[in-house]
Structure 1
Amino acid sequence: MKTIFSTLFLVAFSVISYAQNRWETTKKTASENHELILLNFSGSDWCIPCIKLHKNIIETEDFKKLETDNIIVYLNADFPRNKKNQLSAELKKENAFIADRYNPKGIFPYTILLNSEGKILKSWEGLISADALAFSNEIRQIKQNQNP
């Protein structure tokens, strides 16, 4: 019985540690580079607004420039449904850990801008109505307001 309990405890701890390591790595990178974190929850193969958000904003040059200009660190927590698109067990657990913390209502898409400590600065529920340039400029403005 002790062996079973110990094994279950170690498995649970390793899952939590793995997810926290990814999150902590993201926060550390953001902190070291003085960047914000843009966290996006998506259903990449079933959520039409999520697909549109990625196509019309995330995959654009205006958005990608936020990353290359050290404005944001982008983190996507994806929850695909189709069998062919399934994530690894580790990545599923990692995304669930992040969702428990930042998206407990299960909103899709849900985009959150955070500081490097994980404090929410702004959030967007559903499809962002702005185009990629306007959205990127809004994030740049928030970043400028964060600097002393």
Structure 2
Amino acid sequence: MLPPVLAVKDVAVTGEGESADVKVTFTVENPNNTTVLLETIHYNVNVDEQRMTIGDVGQSPEGFLASQGSIFTIVSGSTLTVSNTQAVERNSVNAEAWDKMVAGEATYTVDGTYFYRVTAGNLDTSTGEENFVLTFP
């Protein structure tokens, strides 16, 4: 079984005053001939090696009876698009990077970890965890 293929589709920033919303959109491709369940993407958004925000897409289930409402199903050969928005406040530490973000002049490094499950035809389920470092644009 191959891990899902994660990519950053877009990083959109809308700023007002000293606050900005950073929306990160990911695509997750399932290269397998069976269904993949994407549990969680934990990520950091960095500009010029300055962490601007952190976020999560989905939620890891806890325990046998946990709800699966925030787990994403990706059928064989398809691609899922998911996004998350976090607020970022401008301050003396991040001012230069924040200004680049809001002006649309930033290059982003998005890094983190994603968690998934793959069920094979014999109903054996394997879990996976992949680290990633992606650049956008």
TM-score of the two chains, using structure 2 as the length reference: 0.23
- Structure with more helix by fraction: 1
TM-score of the two chains, using structure 1 as the length reference: 0.21
